[in-house]
Chains A and B, each alone.
Chain A
Amino acid sequence: MVQLPHFLTVSALLFAAGVFAVVTRRNAVALLMGVELMLNAANLNFAAFSRFSHNALDGQIFAMLSIVTAAAEVAVALAIVLNIYRNVETIDADQAGDLRG
């Protein structure tokens, strides 16, 4: 029987993978992918806690909302990445330092 800790473990692994991706990668698209991994780890937690705590659907709905929001966020972020590429001919996040103080 799959219990709550299993979900949480998978979620934690997903989150750790996301963090690892965000910390180690320089490619802006890879960064976005890491962020998506962390978001989905959170969504998994929403669904899992909702299923195993009081058996209602509020957690799932939160997850749905989060997914939609993430989709919008990715759309904006990709547009930003594209614009960065147009301006500096690269999508290496470290190279886009024009606004650095």
Chain B
Amino acid sequence: METTITTYALILALPLVAFVVQVFFGKRLPRGGDWLVIGAICIDLLLSLRVFFAALFFSSFASTPFVWNLRGWLGDAGTGVLALSTGIMVDNVTAMMLVVVTGCSTLIFLFSTGYMAGHRRYSLFFAYLSLFAFSMLLLVLGNNLIALFMGWELVGLSSYLLIGFLFEEPVVAPDIVPASACKKAFITNRIGDTGFLLGILTLFSFTGKIAYGDVFEAVRNGAFGDHATLLTVAGILLFCGAMAKSAQFPLHVWLPDAMAGPTPVSALIHAATMVAAGVYMVARLYPLFTPDALTFIAYVGAFTALFGATIALVMNDIKRVLAYSTISQLGYMVFGLGVGAYSAGLFHLMTHAFFKALLFLAAGSVIHAMHRAYHHAGLEWNPRSRENDAQDMRNMGGLRKAMPVTFATTAVAVLAISGVPFTSGFLSKDMILGGAFAFGFVENPQHFLIPVFGFAAALLTAFYMARLLIMTFLGTNRMAERGQKALRESPWNMTVPLVLLAVLCGWFWYNPDPTTIFAKGWVSSFLTPPASAVPQTLVAAPADAHHAAHVAAMLVSLFCAGAGFFAAWMLDRRGAISLEHWRLSGSRVYQLLANKYYVDELYSRTAVAGMVQLSRILGWFDKVLVDGVVNATGRFQTGLSELSGLVDRYGVDGLVNALASFVRDTGTEVRQIQTGRIQNYVVYATVGLIVLIVVTGM
């Protein structure tokens, strides 16, 4: 089954066209034009599914990826100097990403029609969503580093626009200000992108190529030669981009604040797709990473997985719990790739996209219902305290009665993210942990920390997700009596996406064997790691070692998930699930976690304060030195002009005026003669005649 460029051109063009139309005419279209954006993304989804099935069932890209080139895109094609071509490359990874992106987008766009209903800038919201879809598809479909970077920056832009979408609200959750959160996200990403761009330039300067295949080929043929260390450096620089985009420690700080955006945005961009772009990039450039770079990536990922999970333990804002959970899960994908479990990392990207989108949408559904309930009951939110906060889990509880669909779907997602058997999360998480187990315990015992972090994070994940479920849906409701009566399930356009996403959390889509002992599922054969372009690579573990590690890892992770659930259940029985006792005991550990390890404070004291100080010094330099020179020049010029003015006024004007007054005075004198009396003229004539006679006579 062949795919053609028309398909991919359509996939790219539809959301872009929808975006342009929405921006200019959205307000005038019926229903704010949401049908246009959703229609475009639905067609994209169908086209993507066609591509995906072509890849899955007909192995369209098994031997060679689909490549289409647009020559002479940059530089002079005639002379060939720096002539760069752009284009589209589609292989199995791309096909999977296309389905994930368009699938999540379709469901979340549909959800947005309910969540954003009645908003003042409803059509603009859909325009931005469409722009995001286009950027993400560009990022995924491009065949070269520059197109990847362009898509990368464009998703950053759409993320910025959507985080700040509620910019007129002074504060949307305790200490989250949309107008600052979007800037924080943008600037933090710039830091990572600097590294990314430097990495791209390093590769370009050594290979002179930008297309993925060409770069790999050049590196394989020894473009880096004796500078193998630089390849590691380039890999780490490229990974810096992923660290910012995929919110890895220490550039994770923007993601929790990005929850200032409307919840569908958090689901689509900051959980399912955009934050996975970093993982996608690492996977796409996988052949370039040296063993050292991969080890670095694995450590960053494993640390982030544990780090995010520990903070998620004590958060009370439902979206914040999910945000830190996203950081943690992204850490899983990253260290999965880092330890060489390539297909596992991408598999987790896909399953995570579905269950995390589901969790966020469910949270959105809950927040929507809470808002409405508070609104109906006339209860105002007080941003300074947690009173009547629609996002605070301490105000929820017992929502399963009012919102059965949201509860059921959330429960499925919680099981999936915790890695309980019969869910998609179990399959993907197990593959990662199996890879980590084989890497850390079997092959490289010196890196034992990576699987340890992974399993610890798995335990914590089960705990905080169970806590979220219990605090939100079980027990009794903790909001005021008046509000409780107004709690309602969300409308169909919000629950249908939830149900569809919950269905996608089942194991059967990915592997007919839920234990993975007998069958490995299509993913591991579909997403095979590309051959490394680096001269010396990580020693691949023997297949049976992986297998043995796999079963052991599965048992350990099952134990971890069980322990996590058990701990949550125990705490709930003791009535301490909100960790209130821990907070009240004044524990330092609790303070450390609740303040997110003081990373934000550290940054504002060091990097931000340093920037402010530097700006002050530069401002002083500008005001005193640069302005001083400019002003002195100005004053000198003024003086010179004054002098010149004097010469002009008194010298030149004086001369002209003197001439004029001479002429005028002479005229005044001479006009006396012209009396108009004929007698006078006769006298003059006579006198003149006499004078003439006398003169000629002499």
Contacts and interface: CB of A to CB of B under 8 A. Distances in A.
B682 A94 contact: no
A19 B686 contact: yes
Interface in A53-97: 93-94, 97
A23 B676 contact: no
User: SS class of chain A's interface: helix, strand, loop or mixed?
Assistant: loop
B539 interface: no
B686 to A, nearest CB: 5
B678 interface: yes
A24 B676 contact: no
A31 interface: yes
Contacts of B543: none
Contacts of A26: 679
Interface residues of B, number: 7
B318 to A, nearest CB: 102
Contacts of A97: 676
Q: Which of A22, A26, A31 has the most CB of B within 10 A?
A: A22
Nearest to A28: B678
B676 A22 contact: no
Contacts of A23: 679, 682-683, 686
Contacts of B686: 19, 23
A22 B682 contact: yes
Interface string A1-42: 000000000000000000100111010000100000000000
B119 interface: no
B474 to A, nearest CB: 115
Contacts of B677: 94
A24 B682 CA distance: 10
A19 B676 contact: no
Interface string B516-542: 000000000000000000000000000
Nearest to A26: B679
A19 B678 contact: no
Contacts of A101: 676
Interface in B652-698: 676-679, 682-683, 686
Contacts of B678: 22, 31, 93
Interface string B231-244: 00000000000000
A49 B679 CA distance: 30
A20 B265 CA distance: 118
Contacts, number: 17
A18 B678 CA distance: 14
Size range of the interface on A? 10 to 19
Given A19-B686, A23-B686, A100 B679 contact: no
A15 to B, nearest CB: 10
A35 to B, nearest CB: 10
Contacts of A31: 678
A26 to B, nearest CB: 8
A26 B678 CA distance: 10
A19 to B, nearest CB: 5
A31 B686 CA distance: 15
A19 B676 CA distance: 18
Contacts of B683: 23
Contacts of A24: 679
A12 B95 CA distance: 133
A33 B463 CA distance: 143
B697 to A, nearest CB: 14
A7 B219 CA distance: 135
A100 B682 contact: no
A93 B675 CA distance: 13
Interface string B31-62: 00000000000000000000000000000000
Contacts of A19: 682, 686
A23 B683 CA distance: 7
Nearest to B685: A19
A12 to B, nearest CB: 11
A2 to B, nearest CB: 24
A97 B678 CA distance: 11
A47 B676 CA distance: 35
A100 B686 CA distance: 23
A61 B683 CA distance: 31
Q: Which of A19, A23, A101 has the most CB of B within 10 A?
A: A23
B59 to A, nearest CB: 113
A19 B686 CA distance: 8
A19 B683 CA distance: 8
A101 to B, nearest CB: 8
Contacts of A94: 677
A31 B485 CA distance: 129
Contacts of B679: 22-24, 26
A75 to B, nearest CB: 20
A23 B685 CA distance: 11
B684 to A, nearest CB: 10
A97 B528 CA distance: 121
B622 to A, nearest CB: 70
Nearest to B678: A93
B327 to A, nearest CB: 101
A26 B677 CA distance: 10
A78 to B, nearest CB: 17
A7 to B, nearest CB: 18
A82 to B, nearest CB: 18
Given A22-B678, A31-B678, A94-B677, 14 more contacts: A19-B682, A19-B686, A22-B679, A22-B682, A23-B679, A23-B682, A23-B683, A23-B686, A24-B679, A26-B679, A93-B678, A97-B676, A100-B676, A101-B676
Closest 9 CB pairs of A and B: A23-B679, A100-B676, A22-B682, A23-B682, A19-B686, A23-B683, A94-B677, A93-B678, A97-B676
6 contacts: A19-B686, A22-B678, A23-B679, A23-B683, A23-B686, A26-B679
